[in-house]
Amino acid sequence: MDRRDFIKTAGATALSAAAIASPLAAPAIASGKIQWKMVTAWPKNLPGPGVAAQMLADRITALSGGKLEVKLFAAGELVPGPGVFDAVSQGTAELYHAVPAYWGSKSKGILLFGSQPFGLRADEQLGWMMHGGGQTLYDEMYGRFGIKPFLCGNSGAQWAGWFRNEIKSIEDFKGLRFRTTGLASEMCAKLGMAVQAMGGRDMFQALQSGALDAGEFIGPWSDSALGFYQVAKNYYWPGVGEPSSAEECGVNLKAYQNLPKDLQQAVAFACESLYNPVWTEYSTKHAMALKQMVEGQGVQLKQLPEDVMIAMGNAAGQVIDDLRNDSDELVRRIVESYLAYRASISEYMIYADNGQMNARALTYKY
């Protein structure tokens, strides 16, 4: 789909004040069906998250046997993309599809459930949630806002981003106007970057006009669809700011609790069952899109210098230290749980996945 189609689709962002203020009424029922509204942070069918959001809406409807019908509203159709958390918390819609990285203004602890600079890969993130105590903390944090949260996908490893000029030393980051989100934005700020948060379509326009010097969004599949290669040719890796980025479904807690048990299970299983299909689709299509951008659009792949990555790692460590000393006791528990899981899985992966990937990268006949 052409980038201009996404811009047109996502253009309408007017939000009715009456809609925000209205509490969640009894669920709409037609012909014995419960009808729910899903609002998303994405343009409709944006490759990656927009596609995944529609998959989730369709899967909930299917797994409920049609008894719970979910209608998707893309960013701007019912509420602006940045407003979906509040819309579900306040009852304007029953559920949303977005990423935890967008909700740092609610609590810094939320950011750890989505991605962490120099943190967990997609499989490790799910491992922490399911087997390391993460989901219990996730429920506790979002419960403060009347939301029941589920992870429902992951972009896999993200990229360092699109740069108008080359990065040769850490000094090149000083004053650099850069788009990113979540804890990565705090890491970048500690390195002297002028961090800006904005959606993908706004990032394109800012790069095009020169208002931004660089920015990261997701990865090759989504980035190519938004046309970033047209306005910045230097595509840097690795994306140490977001080694993975979990996508989430937030459900209005009262609406969820009011569902019969079988429909609660349909919602939960729809989210859980999409994590791996979404993640592996990203990985597969990222690879295909990257090849096309390099061979067809003249994109230049650049690796961040090692000393730059080390400086970024030190800055990320400062961000984590700040969280460990947060005034909110729940935030402190979340970060300690994350760090314990990261330490355990990192030690093991040296021998397991890291070892396998390093061996596969050797030169041999195959």
Which tens digit of pLDDT belongs to each residue from 86-121? Answer: 999 999 999 999 999 999 999 999 999 999 999 999
Query: Is the per-residue pLDDT at 52 higher than 70?
Result: yes
pLDDT at 32: 79
Coil vs helix vs strand at 213: coil
Structure confidence at residue 28 as a pLDDT band (50, 70, 90): low
Q: What percent of the chain has pLDDT over 90?
A: 91
- Alpha helix segments (H runs only) across 112-260: 122-131, 134-143, 182-190, 200-209, 220-225, 253-257
The answer on pLDDT for 17 being more than 80 is: no
- Give 4's pLDDT tier (boundaries 50, 70, 90): very low
Residue 185: predicted pLDDT: 97
What domains appear along the chain, each with residue ranges and CATH number? 3-156+246-285 (3.40.190.170)
pLDDT top residue among 36 and 23 = 36
d(CA 272, CA 88): 20
Question: Any residues with CB less than 8 A from the CB of 189 and at least 6 apart, and which?
Answer: 195
- Tokens of residue 295, six digits: 């061979």
CA pair distance 283, 203, nearest whole angstrom: 23
Indicate if the pLDDT at residue 20 is higher than 80: no
Distance of alpha carbon 351 from alpha carbon 353, whole angstroms? 7
